[in-house]
Amino acid sequence: MFMGLVMGDHSKSSINSMFNTGTVVGVSSNVFGSGFPPKSVPSFAWGGAEEIKTYDLERALDVARRVMGRRKIVLSAAGENVLRTVFDLTKKERGQAGVAG
């Protein structure tokens, strides 16, 4: 009946980030800044209410490796391939959302 935030794998938000009910944040996104971000934040997005840019794929993969490494988990070749594929498949979604870059 009610739905809160849905956030994809490897996505992050800053402290005190505000999200509307039913907001969907894609994979490997970084949401920050004041105000409410859009209710649909595409995968590999970087920003918030004021501006969203494309999160560089290689930087996103590096962050995923480091974060997983802290938990003694290795990002497998298959896992990396999934993230690369999601990046490619969501390019149009980022463009439709007005994401720069």
Q: pLDDT tens digits for 24-71? A: 999 999 999 999 999 999 999 999 998 999 999 999 999 999 999 999
SS in 3 state form for the chain?
Answer: CCCCCEECCCCEECCCCCCCCCCEECCCCEECCCCCCCCEECCCEEECCCCEEECCHHHHHHHHHHHHHHCCCCCCHHHHHHHHHHHHHCHHHHHHCCCEC
How far apart, in whole angstroms, are the C-alpha atoms of residue 89 and residue 31? 20
pLDDT in tens, 69-99: 999 999 999 999 999 999 999 999 998 877 7
pLDDT value, residue 42 = 96
